[in-house]
Amino acid sequence: MPHSIVTRRDVIRYTAGRVAIAGGLTGLVTMAFLVSDLGTNESALVPVGTVTHASMILALSVSILLSGVMSYRSARLMQQLALTRAELLRVSRTDPLTGLLNRRGFDEAATALLAQAAAAGQRVVGLMCDIDRFKAINDRYGHDAGDRVLARIGDILRDFGARNDVLIARHGGEEFTGLMIDVGDEQATRAMQTLCRLCSTKVSGGGVDVPVTMSFGLATHNAGCDLPSLMRRADQALYRAKDLGRNCVVQINDLEVAIAC
């Protein structure tokens, strides 16, 4: 919007301005119409029918013009307000460092996907992953390097998710979460093994090369389990990947999933 309307004085000023514009336009249109239709001779005799006809046309023209101008102005303000709200909604659901969904955005999107998958009878696999020894990276190379690592891993995860139709978000800190729809256990494991290799990289910047690896935990969604339950089991699988030496993928088997659920 060109001017912010914050205080009551702003409201009064804005309203007064719109009234002034409406009055000015009405005067100009009335003057122009009367001159063109009735002439400029004030003492000329004009038939009543002509005056009535002219008055009706004048009133209709002014009404249409003012309605159009004000409606256009209101529509523009509503459009800008809608765009602002949409941008605020997007920002509130996006992690600024990685460009991925944040935890709130993921929870909303994943809950909707779970409902759709359940209705379609599709298999769902939950994912939890994090950067190995991230605290040591911050301690050794500094927090700027840590931010570069997060941003780079975010790029890799975002590109992989877009290419493979995987919902991926930053869960918090160095931890990321995801959801795969209509995939089998073996297919999900192969996909995450590929992603694990992609994330095994070096992040350069600030005169240093930071070696990075990630660990992945997978769990299958079962009927009757909600999103938090699914992600807790995926987190258990992630801890097992850490116990096995990191930089690997672990998927909880069916028996363990049934017990955890």
Q: List the catalytic residues.
A: 174
Contact call for residues 126 and 216 (beta carbons, < 8 A): no
252 HSE (CA, 13 A, CB side): 29
What is the rounded CA–CA span in Å between residue 236 and residue 217?
7
Query: Which residue type, as a one-letter code, is found at position 234?
Result: A
DSSP 197-248: HHHSEEEEETTEEEEE-EEEEEEE--TT--HHHHHHHHHHHHHHHHHTTSSS
| Coil vs helix vs strand at 103 | helix
Q: Token pair of 152, please?
A: 């780079």
Beta bridge partners of 176: 129, 170
What is the rounded CA–CA span in Å between residue 167 and residue 113?
9
Cβ contacts of residue 122 below 8 Å, gap of 6+? 116, 181, 182
Alpha-carbon dihedral angle through residues 10, 16, 17, 18, given to the nearest 10 degrees: 110
Neighbour count for residue 43 (Cβ, 10 Å):
4
Pairing of strands 214-220, 249-251: parallel
Backbone torsions φ then ψ of 67, nearest 5 degrees: -60, -40
